[in-house]
Amino acid sequence: MDKEYSIYLDSNRIGTTLFEKADAPMGVVFGELKFEKEEWNYDIIKSYCKNNNIELADDYPEDKSISTRTIDSLVIRNEQGFEIKGVGNQISGMDSEGFEISIEGIAYPFYEEEFPHHVKAYNERFKG
């Protein structure tokens, strides 16, 4: 059963993710960002970053593609309301293909407790 994580920006819930992908050894999870409101898009994300002095890693206005650096006011909580913290986070994507959210540097043993399926999948790759 997939866990759904709630995503908050400035304490307003903006969407959810399942964190369906991972780099377990690096303590990274990422997944599709499902916005609650249709108006979230490249322009809104870029405007938010500009207004809040958040650095962009990439910005391609012609493709409506963007990738942020860490957004301190971005909070991700599990189903029990516990905040998933790492050393950084990022929103990236484009209007035509959707957006993804990632958290980097989640500490062990918490990572293993919260995402045991990702750790197991990683370890299974080396069996045989």
8-28: pLDDT as tens digits:
999 999 999 999 999 999 999
Does 1 score more than 80 pLDDT?
A: no
Q: Are 101 and 29 contacting, i.e. CB atoms less than 8 angstroms apart? A: no
Percentage of the chain with pLDDT > 70? 98
Between 34 and 37, residue with greater pLDDT = 34
Mean model confidence pLDDT for the chain: 96
pTM above 0.75, yes or no: yes
